[in-house]
Amino acid sequence: MAASRLTPDDLSVYSHLTEDELLHIAVEQSFANTTRPASTLSSFSTLPPPQTQSRVVQRHHYSAPQPQLPTSDPPERQSTINPPTSLSQFLYKGRTRKLSPLQTVIRNDDVPALMGLIRQKCSSLTDPNANGWIALHEAAHCGRLQCLRLLVRAYPDLVNKCSVKNETPLLLAVARGDATCVEFLLNHRADPNVANTDRDTPLYAACEHSNEAMVDVLLRFGAQVNRPCCQGGTALHEICMRGDLKICKMLLEAGANLQARNNYGIQPLFTAAQHGHGQLINLLAKNGADINGQANDGASPLFEASKNGYVSAVEVLLSLKADANRSTKSGLLPLHVAVQNNHSRIVSMLIPITSRVRVRRSGISPLHIAAEKDHDDMLEMLIHAGFDVNAELSEERSRMYEDRRSTPLYCSVYNGNLEATEMLLEAGANPNLDVFNPLLIAVRLGWVDIATLLLTYGANVNAQISTKPSPFPSAILFGIESLPMLKLLMDHGCDARPCFDCCYGNKIHPPPPPERRPVEELQFSRESLPERSIQFCETVCTPGLHHVTGPIVSILLDYVGHVQLCSRLREALELRADWDDIKLKAYPPHPLMQLCRLKIRQLLGFQRLKLLPMLPLPVRLIRFLQYDVQCLLN
């Protein structure tokens, strides 16, 4: 009999071959078919005679073939479904290992070769590999309908065979996105409700890929619509994330539970809001979904849509009367999270319907968040809407910060945001409400413009802090390294007199305490004991300031009357001959003009000193009282 006229019914000529030899012949045939024109491909017509096959087997011995875990789609059948999920990510892996002979036959869709293997009852078709796959799994995974038909008819009892991960051929076909294979399996008693080890059912997988035809056929064959996955989510949760309106309607008609919650307490409508699907929100709400259903952390659909900036979803929720004053367990409202993420359009929608009482109960104002995040436009919007610029953080929220901040103004100053600081001060922010005065932050960080602004609006220039106790103002301690900053403080009423009230006087001074980092100076703790009081002479005579000790003392002497220098200050001034005049400056008698200037400034007080330019006084006198250096030189 000529080889070119062989048919599958003539396979008896190969009956003397072993299973390994037969598999090898099938693979050889499969490879040959892929390289020939379509018109020449037919059953076994190109197989060599049995004697030739035997010699080939002797040269290329194969061990017992085992189907292996698939590595990639064949080039001619690339998958077009959505990006990989936990169920289908293997479809996208690169080819990392050699295909087994059986895989080659199935992937090449070599029906005649597969028929030959089935007639010979090859055990490789039903023996699972290390991953639990049999030939049925491979055919379903590759979407080879003809191969699938042969295998199901040959092994009908294996149609629901599960792999190590509990994957059935049906689940693999769904993941592949091949509706014809799926329908064929369902028509041959495939169970649509067998889930894998992640508890993903075929219906859930079809929703992952938003495959309308697949969902339809699965529902017609009795797929359980409310079966949860390992995260507790149902098919309706998944399609609400994808935003497919048609499939959502199909699931609802099949009895999908609108109140089903996943492991995080999230309902399907919440998921739709979370991903900004306004039409789905409308559909679910009309079918009875709870538009205010909260997750385990207290977040509502409106909160989630506001957080993610979905304007259309927020508009739909508000049109459905969603509660804008329903807070999370942490006390935050939708307005808070919209401000935090700088969603101005959503903030403008939420401001009129957000209760100011609920904002106060939350312990944090949206102004705090806008100031901390440097959202200046948002800050301006909230100020114009009438939010209290002097709102303070609750004790619990203030403790979350090492510096125990309290006001929006402090947040803006801490960030070095001059525009926001000015905006808040102009709106009436009090610069003296925080545990640490914001002025001290500006002074410590050398921000002269912000310090000037705060002083202009009445910041307490003589403020103290508990972590750095000293008999003199803390602003001098923090600004001592900057002569311009020190001069600014003095001009605005800082009291320099305590700097020269040294408790040691002419006695021997103890060694100074170790220096601390700036961040440590701003840390607040009620439990820690305060340090011993720091003397001015200890600060100004440290090694880092020895080159400017004289100019620092000179500036302060201009703002005090009769004082005495302690032994340490005198020693520091005597180190350089050009500082002798500074030391003499502290000794009486002082110039009468200097004493008069100090007395006038003392009687007026700093707040009224601001009004000096408005008084009918000679310009020269006004400049003198304001310590205008140019005036003194004239």
Mean pLDDT, residues 293-311 taken together: 97
Q: How many CB atoms lie within 10 A of CB 499?
A: 28
> Is the pLDDT assigned to residue 83 strictly greater than 50?
no
> Which has the closest alpha carbon to 127: 146, 155, 104, 106?
155
Mean pLDDT, residues 429-443 taken together: 95
C-alpha 48/C-alpha 341 separation (Å) is 71
Tokens read off for 558? 């201009």
| b/e sequence 426-438, b meaning 16+ C-beta within 10 Å | ebebbbeebbbbb
CATH code of the domain made up of 1-221: 1.25.40.20
Question: To which residue do tokens 């170790």 refer?
Answer: 514
Mean pLDDT, residues 569-574 taken together: 88
Cis ω before 589 (30° cut-off from 0): yes
Mean pLDDT, residues 538-564 taken together: 87
| Predicted local distance difference test score (pLDDT) of residue 582 | 86
* DSSP H or E segment with residue 145: helix 145-154
> Is the pLDDT assigned to residue 543 strictly greater than 90?
no
| Predicted local distance difference test score (pLDDT) of residue 34 | 46
> Is the pLDDT assigned to residue 19 strictly greater than 80?
no
- 10 Å CB burial of residue 187 (0-12, 13-18, 19+) is exposed
Q: Across the chain, what does the average pLDDT equal?
A: 82
| Predicted local distance difference test score (pLDDT) of residue 28 | 54
CATH of 225-342, one of 1.10.10.10, 1.25.40.20, 3.40.720.10, 3.40.50.10790: 1.25.40.20
Mean pLDDT, residues 217-222 taken together: 95
Q: Which residue type, as a one-letter code, is found at position 238? A: E
Q: How many CB atoms lie within 10 A of CB 38?
A: 7
> Which has the closest alpha carbon to 305: 290, 289, 297, 316?
316
Residue limits of CATH 1.25.40.20 in the chain: 1-221, 225-342
> Is the pLDDT assigned to residue 441 strictly greater than 90?
yes
Greatest C-alpha distance within the chain: 136
Alpha-carbon torsion 303, 305, 309, 312, what sign? negative
Over residues 283-292, the pLDDT tens digits come to 999 999 999 9
CA atoms within 13 A on the CB side of 50: 11
Over residues 600-610, the pLDDT tens digits come to 888 887 777 77
Over residues 455-513, the pLDDT tens digits come to 999 999 999 887 767 888 999 989 988 999 999 999 888 999 999 888 877 877 777 66
Are the CB atoms for 123 and 51 separated by under 8 Å? no
C-alpha 313/C-alpha 317 separation (Å) is 6
Over residues 586-597, the pLDDT tens digits come to 888 878 888 888
C-alpha 147/C-alpha 74 separation (Å) is 15
* Separation in Å, CA 58 to CA 19, 104, 389, 579: 14, 21, 90, 106
Are the CB atoms for 560 and 500 separated by under 8 Å? yes
| Predicted local distance difference test score (pLDDT) of residue 512 | 65
| Predicted local distance difference test score (pLDDT) of residue 571 | 87
| Predicted local distance difference test score (pLDDT) of residue 399 | 93
Instruction: Kindly indicate the confidence band of residue 167, based on its pLDDT and cuts at 50, 70 and 90.
Output: very high
Of 46-55, 67-76, 598-607, minimum mean pLDDT range: 46-55
C-alpha 309/C-alpha 226 separation (Å) is 30
Mean pLDDT, residues 211-224 taken together: 94
> Is the pLDDT assigned to residue 155 strictly greater than 80?
yes
Over residues 390-403, the pLDDT tens digits come to 999 999 999 999 99
